[in-house]
Amino acid sequence: MSGLLLNPKLETSMMAISMSTSSLVFRIPSGFSSAVSTRISNELGAGRPKAAKLAARVVLLIALVEGFLLSGIAIAARNVWGYIYTNEEEVVKYLAAVMPVLALSNFMDGIQGVLSGTARGCGWQKLGALVNLVAYYVVGLPCAVILTFVFHFGAKGLWTGIISGSGLQALLYILITLRINWELQVISNFDFKLPNISIWI
């Protein structure tokens, strides 16, 4: 969509750098997500609900700390980060203006990333797919289109749409994780029905 904006060369250049940066930053919560997925599934399989609950809480705390730290670094380095990719002053300045939005997006993405690992560890891949579908395609994509082309926010509108999707995804995963009945999850560990969440019991 960035190629459809008024200055497509500038917009796509900034989006390419932003996406590269976002992909780099996401490697950290992605690793935490894989680790907690394995840990929770092992603890539930061993019949230790308190250990599984502790693992979910610890990884969320780690993700929050990591997210605040990297967001702070991104905002602090916003005026020089673009020079890693280009010498074009216009692109660097535009990227600097978008970096706070990108930092917020990376923070939200980190939260939803580790909590999706919790869902995978509980065997809730279908629930995760539903959350992703609603967050990004029902909410995120329409928000991006409206903010970019109706309100003319440019690439900030695209990133704000991504933030709305990842923010909703993170919120849904937080609500689901906080409402898990871990003891019942252990009992039905091999029962592939709807997850044992107290809001559905």
Q: What is the pLDDT of residues 130-150, one digit of tens each?
A: 999 999 999 999 999 999 999
Residue 93 resides in a domain: yes
Percent share of the chain, pLDDT over 90: 72
Q: pLDDT tens, 164-181?
A: 999 999 999 999 998 888
Q: What's the confidence (pLDDT) of residue 200? A: 46
Q: What is the CA radius of gyration of the chain?
A: 19
Mean pLDDT by 10 residues, the chain (201 residues): 81 90 94 96 93 95 95 95 94 93 92 94 91 94 93 87 93 91 78 49 43
Distance in angstroms (rounded) separating the CA atoms of residues 1 and 5: 7
Number of structural domains the chain divides into: 1
131: closest CA among 164, 86, 173? Answer: 173
- Which residue type does 18 have? S
Q: What's the confidence (pLDDT) of residue 11? A: 86
Residue 2 resides in a domain: no
Residue 122 resides in a domain: yes
Supply the pTM of this predicted model: 0.85
